[in-house]
């Protein structure tokens, strides 16, 4: 079974270059994962791949069964997760198609099943001072350098509820809070991984400037163009990182 998993977000429902050997639909005490977990070889390394929003993309961020996804990967023996997140950027230094390796999170989501320590399990208060694995973050940064991909080292990921995008006033507030990039899927995924002892890091691809940070409104055409322009960078970094 693979030690490494990639969780793909918007724009990454399938992993190019993955030589598929099997698919597993893992049953968990928390329900079914978003999609069958694909197991195969990428750059000579065995890994698991899970499409966070389903394949095809059909689950909104608040509908994702994060507990089932993480627990299923844990069941398969995964010890490290590289999570791909599509985000909006507040800072002008992070334009569309730019890659960010965040080092902090602020959680603004609500109503999501956010812990395994509920129901019959004894409560445990995990340390979450540094939400991302430094080992995996460094692997991504080294991989980006080897691949010649410019990226931002560090940044605060603000996780909003979605599925709507934010208002300008909300983005202004997030900026005052110290947020650099805004997404909808960073939590509770990162905390759940910490609860079950899986190393976890985010590879965030900027797909739009946040509300009020660019001229005009945000369109899906612009987001899809940024995904097309930037996803090659993401795949290149991941390929280098897992090797």
Summarize the annotated binding site for substrate as residue ranges.
184, 208-210
Cα→Cα distances 190→85, 104, 194, Å: 12, 11, 6
The 8-class DSSP code of residue 16 comes to: T
* Cα 190 → chain centroid: 8
Q: How far apart are CA 240 and CA 223, in angstroms?
A: 25
Q: Which of 50, 100, 42 is nearest to 72 (CA)?
A: 50
Angle value at C-alpha 34, between 80 and 102, nearest 5 degrees? 45
Residues making up the binding site for phosphate: 10, 52-53, 185
Residues making up the binding site: 10, 52-53, 184-185, 208-210
> Exposure string (b/e) for 115-129, b if CB count within 10 Å is 16 or more?
bbeeeeeeeeeeeee
């Amino acid at each position: 079974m693979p030690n490494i998993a990639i969780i793909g977000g918007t724009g990454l429902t399938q992993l190019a270059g993955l030589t598929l050997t099997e698919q597993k639909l893992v049953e968990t005490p928390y329900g079914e994962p978003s999609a069958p977990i694909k197991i195969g070889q990428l750059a000579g390394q065995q890994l698991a791949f899970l499409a966070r929003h389903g394949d095809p993309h059909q689950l909104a961020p608040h509908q994702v069964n994060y507990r089932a996804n993480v627990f299923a990967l844990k069941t398969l023996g995964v010890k490290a997760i590289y999570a791909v997140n599509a985000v909006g950027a507040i800072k002008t230094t992070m334009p569309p198609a730019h890659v960010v390796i965040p080092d902090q999170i602020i959680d603004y989501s609500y109503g999501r099943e956010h812990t395994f320590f509920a129901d019959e399990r004894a409560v445990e208060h995990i340390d979450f001072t540094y939400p991302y694995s430094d080992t995996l973050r460094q692997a991504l940064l080294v991989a980006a350098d080897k691949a010649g991909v410019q990226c931002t080292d560090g940044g605060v990921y603000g996780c909003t509820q979605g599925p709507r995008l934010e208002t300008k006033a909300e983005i202004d507030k997030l900026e005052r809070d110290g947020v650099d990039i805004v997404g909808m899927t960073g939590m509770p995924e990162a905390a759940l991984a910490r609860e079950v002892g899986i190393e976890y890091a985010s590879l965030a691809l900027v797909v739009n400037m946040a509300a009020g940070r660019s001229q005009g409104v945000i369109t899906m055409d612009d987001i899809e163009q940024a995904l097309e322009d930037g996803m090659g960078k993401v795949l290149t970094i991941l390929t280098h990182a897992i090797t």
